[in-house]
Amino acid sequence: MVKIGIVGGTGYTGVELLRILASHPDADVRAITSRSDAGTRVGDMFASLRGHYDGLAFTAPDATDLKSCDVVFFATPHGVAMGEARTLVGAGVKIIDLAADFRIRDVALFEKWYKLPHACPDLLAEAAYGLPEFHRDAIRRARIVGNPGCYPTAMQLGLIPLLEAGAVDSEHLIADCKSGASGAGRKAEVGLLLAEASDNFKAYGVAGHRHHPETVQELQSRSATPVSLVFTPHLLPMIRGIHATLYARLTRPAVDVQALFEQRYASEPFVDVMPAGSTPDTRSVRASNVARIAVHRPGNGDMVTVIVVEDNLVKGAAGQAVQNMNLMFGLPETTGLTAAPVLP
């Protein structure tokens, strides 16, 4: 059994971790922290988990023995994990951070976008980027994994096969992406109120979004030519889901883009390349760790359109984190993650 601690377990990614780990045969959740809800039992906080974590209560971080865990998940705001990483890693504990502390390798770039000094740049240098489809071996060896953002997961899954093949103009990539409201976290904010977000659709972060440098970093690592990306996120009036529509101009017109994606992801358990002409929707992946991809070449011209859908809380966050944990501890990668999507 893997002894698990969760720091910051009262948000959407925290409760999603608990939901997934409740049916994981090798998971033993020993501790879960919350500064504001210490003493509250998990089943009292989240009625959906009644009967799964009897006896487990939230504890104050300072009163929690995380060093006795094998792995600690940080489902916290940016900056928390890096403040505790050195102590935990020094005690032999592995870390999976669902925030951004260990995603961006360039310290100056991280500090520019997140307005925080990095507390442990030496550990940042050794951290693995937690997108298994492209970093599986590094994740297996890692002491620290920076779990990708939800938007970056979708954009990378949709664009990297094209970049690896040198099949597109890498300097003119476009990502038109939409997310459900849970992507903003469990917080009180005017723009997320029912009366504000419902029956509405809007772009945000058009001038710049924190997921942009992370995505470009990873796309560039897979491209032989410079990468430039226009990324526009939007808020959809729904709870869960990412829908990314990606555009690129082909520089190799003879390439069979459908075959390219089918071959690239043939052995990937959580990437479903759909038949030609498909248009996957977000509810087809709801509550699952699967990303579905459809590839189009309108009019058989020189533009390729890639559609990627995922659940932002699962493959875009907690499910991917558990996928990483499985790799780090030598477990079958799919353990605890094979539940079918929820429909309707």
Strands 242-249 and 173-179, how do they pair? antiparallel
Of 69, 120, 150, 177, which is the active-site residue? 150
Please name the residues in contact with 145: beta carbons below 8 A apart, sequence gap of 6 or more.
94, 95, 96, 97, 102, 127, 128, 129, 130, 139, 321, 324, 328
H-run or E-run covering 52: none
Q: State how far Cα 300 lies from the chain centre.
A: 33
177 is catalytic: no
* Cα–Cα dist 231/212, whole Å: 7
Strands 144-146 and 94-97, how do they pair? parallel
Of 160, 156, 121, 123, which is closest to residue 142 (Cα–Cα)? 123
* Cα–Cα dist 297/304, whole Å: 5
| Residues carrying an active site annotation | 150
